[in-house]
């Protein structure tokens, strides 16, 4: 693989969590921007919310008649989905296959960054090697195979380094859209390794970039399968390293979650599920950039104000409907037309491509959603929406029924003028999360949108993660900042 083929656009898209965050109603697609981080190996401090709660293993599960539960009463499924139980943890994260993708030395990586204008990332501290992997996870009580990247700093002698889990933004909904399918999809894991991290970057369920096809739609903005596939990717990284391979570095115990847009959603939910599903993991910090924390609030915005959120929300409705077993008729929620039969057309667009714009004939929310759906949303009558309202509430972090067992220091980063993951909605949601026990710091990049705010915040993100890995607690348990120049932090 010749590094000269890496164009500025490709690198920008890689650092921006995939150029597929463009489920828009306008011509300007908004990509989600992300950046690697650089740290040391010292553990950070996390807080157990309920120390008297027995730590849970997925080896023991019981089900109820509606949702199914794990042994500590974590609800699974629900919202019309047939009940199921989690499989035992044995075998989760098992490596099915792996293949080296690329290895570059530090000067070459530094040249790439400089050539493409990413000077804020500084020089590469190490060379890096990247593999793609296939590993075992589970969904709805069945084993599934999925894919991802792992990367390792090139050290003179193998030693443990902190682990960063890179959760990419929206890149599509099928196998064809997986980062491991993209010849240049390795770049964020490569850069993370060059900054001294061992990293793993899951493609998510329904996005198998190589090997056997998944033959399913990616469960878009659905918490449980997104969290589980992410957590099992970390297990896969450790299993690969334990396989007596000749690796240039090894994954340490400390794990940092880092994602943007859909990836920020993934890391928040992986952190929430981790004490229940993968309690052996030592997650010490979480960076969630431009994350859709409040699906209910974003629904209220996207169903009433025609804009980028409108199309993204419609895709999330299809994702929830598909994951819960396609119960009900989409035409109850999505408009059957005119001018376009969205209820029929949108699932086909998601199954057939990696991004879409709503057709130009659509000029209002009432041409995307049914009037009964809009009326119920305006009235905040989620019960009237039945299963539709159920899985939108289920995707709202502040309404989760998954017990919050452990508090991880969390950085939530936004862009002041983000009109895709609409900033006022997420910012208004943060006090509720603080009241529920989250320890978080929030930064809002002045004048920046969904596609550029994370890159502006890179130096601060680097410092923030370094402090957490050094064991420094947050200065305050909940800090919500006004918009500021993130390049000056």
DSSP class of residue 21 equals: -
Structure confidence at residue 202 (pLDDT): 99
Whether 166 is covered by a domain: the verdict is yes
Judge whether 12 and 20 are in contact, CB under 8 Å: no
- Per-residue confidence band for 70, with pLDDT thresholds at 50, 70 and 90: low
Give alpha helix (H) positions in 324-386: 342-352, 371-378
- Stretch 194-199: mean pLDDT: 96
Short-list 153, 335, 139, CA closest to 227 = 139
Whether 100 is covered by a domain: the verdict is yes
Whether 481 is covered by a domain: the verdict is yes
Judge whether 36 and 287 are in contact, CB under 8 Å: no
The total of other beta-carbon atoms located within 10 Å of residue 204's CB is 29
Q: Quick: pLDDT tens for 472-485.
A: 999 999 999 999 99
Structure confidence at residue 187 (pLDDT): 93
Whether 336 is covered by a domain: the verdict is no
Structure confidence at residue 82 (pLDDT): 87
183: three-class secondary structure by DSSP: coil
Short-list 183, 187, 197, 184, CA closest to 248 = 197
* Contacts of 103 by beta carbon, 8 Å cutoff, 6+ apart: 127, 128, 129, 130, 154
Structure confidence at residue 356 (pLDDT): 81
Please state, in angstroms and as integers, the Cα–Cα distance from residue 110 to each residue in 114, 117, 118, 165, 452, following that order. Answer: 6, 11, 9, 22, 21
First vs last C-alpha separation in the chain: 37
Q: What percent of the chain has pLDDT over 70?
A: 85
396: three-class secondary structure by DSSP: coil
CA of residue 1 relative to chain centroid, distance: 28
Whether 198 is covered by a domain: the verdict is yes
**Domain interval for residue 408:** 3-49+84-294+397-488
* CATH code: domain of residue 229: 3.40.50.1820
Is the pLDDT reported for residue 18 higher than 70?
no
Q: Of the ranges 165-174, 196-205, 412-421, 456-465, which one carries the lowest mean pLDDT score?
A: 456-465
Instruction: Give the separation between CA 265 and CA 21, rounded to whole angstroms.
Output: 13
The total of other beta-carbon atoms located within 10 Å of residue 193's CB is 33
Whether 462 is covered by a domain: the verdict is yes
Is the pLDDT reported for residue 3 higher than 80?
no
Short-list 91, 90, 113, 95, CA closest to 36 = 113
The total of other beta-carbon atoms located within 10 Å of residue 277's CB is 25
Q: In total, how many domains does the chain have?
A: 1
Q: Quick: pLDDT tens for 219-255.
A: 999 999 999 999 999 999 999 999 978 999 999 999 9
**Burial, 70: exposed, middle or buried (Cβ in 10 Å; 0-12, 13-18, 19+)?**
buried
The total of other beta-carbon atoms located within 10 Å of residue 54's CB is 8
Judge whether 52 and 43 are in contact, CB under 8 Å: no
Q: Quick: pLDDT tens for 268-323.
A: 999 999 999 999 999 999 999 999 999 999 999 999 999 999 999 999 999 999 99
Whether 252 is covered by a domain: the verdict is yes
Q: φ, ψ for residue 14 (rounded to 5)?
A: -65, -45
Whether 286 is covered by a domain: the verdict is yes
Structure-token match 């709805």, residue found = 140
Judge whether 244 and 25 are in contact, CB under 8 Å: no
């Amino acid at each position: 693989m010749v590094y000269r083929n890496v164009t500025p656009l490709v690198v920008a898209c890689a650092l921006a969590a995939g150029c597929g965050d463009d489920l828009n109603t306008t011509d300007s697609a908004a990509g989600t921007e992300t950046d690697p981080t650089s740290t040391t190996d010292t553990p950070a401090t996390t807080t157990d919310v309920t120390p008297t709660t027995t730590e849970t293993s997925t080896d023991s599960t019981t089900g109820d008649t509606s949702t199914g539960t794990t042994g500590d009463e974590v609800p699974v499924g629900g919202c019309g989905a047939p009940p199921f139980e989690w499989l035992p943890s044995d075998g989760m994260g098992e490596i099915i296959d792996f293949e080296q993708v690329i290895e570059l030395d530090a000067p070459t990586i530094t040249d790439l960054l400089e050539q493409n204008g990413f000077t804020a990332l500084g020089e590469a501290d190490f060379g890096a090697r990247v593999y793609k992997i296939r590993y075992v996870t589970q969904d709805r009580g069945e084993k599934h195979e999925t894919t991802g990247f792992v990367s390792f700093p090139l050290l003179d002698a193998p030693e443990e380094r902190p682990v960063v889990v890179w959760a990419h933004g929206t890149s599509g909904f099928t196998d064809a859209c997986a980062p491991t399918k993209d010849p240049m999809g390795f770049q964020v894991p490569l850069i993370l390794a060059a900054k001294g991290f061992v990293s793993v970057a899951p493609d998510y369920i329904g996005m198998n970039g190589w090997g056997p096809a998944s033959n399913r739609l990616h469960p878009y903005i659905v918490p449980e399968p997104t969290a589980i596939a992410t957590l099992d990717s970390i297990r896969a990284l450790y299993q690969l390293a334990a396989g007596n391979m000749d690796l240039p570095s090894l994954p340490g115990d400390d794990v940092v979650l880092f994602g943007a847009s859909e990836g920020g959603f993934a890391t928040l939910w992986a952190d929430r599920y981790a004490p229940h599903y993968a309690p052996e993991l030592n997650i010490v910090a979480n960076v969630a950039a431009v994350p859709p924390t409040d699906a209910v609030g974003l629904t209220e915005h996207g169903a009433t104000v025609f804009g980028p959120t409108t199309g993204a929300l419609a895709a999330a409705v299809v994702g929830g409907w598909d994951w819960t077993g396609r119960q009900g008729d989409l035409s109850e929620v999505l408009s059957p037309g005119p001018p376009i039969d969205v209820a029929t057309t949108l699932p086909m667009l998601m199954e057939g491509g990696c991004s879409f714009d709503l057709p130009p004939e659509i000029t209002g929310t009432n041409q995307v959603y049914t009037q009964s759906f809009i009326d119920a949303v305006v009235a905040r009558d989620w019960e009237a929406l039945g299963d539709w309202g159920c899985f939108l509430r289920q995707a709202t972090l502040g309404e989760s029924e998954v017990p919050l067992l452990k508090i991880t220091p969390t950085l939530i980063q936004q862009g002041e003028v983000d009109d895709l993951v609409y900033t006022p909605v997420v910012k208004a949601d943060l006090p509720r999360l603080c009241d529920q026990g989250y320890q978080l710091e929030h930064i809002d990049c002045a004048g920046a949108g969904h596609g550029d705010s994370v890159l502006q915040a890179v130096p601060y993100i680097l410092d923030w993660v370094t402090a957490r890995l050094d064991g420094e607690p947050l200065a305050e348990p909940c800090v919500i900042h006004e918009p500021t120049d993130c390049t000056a932090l």
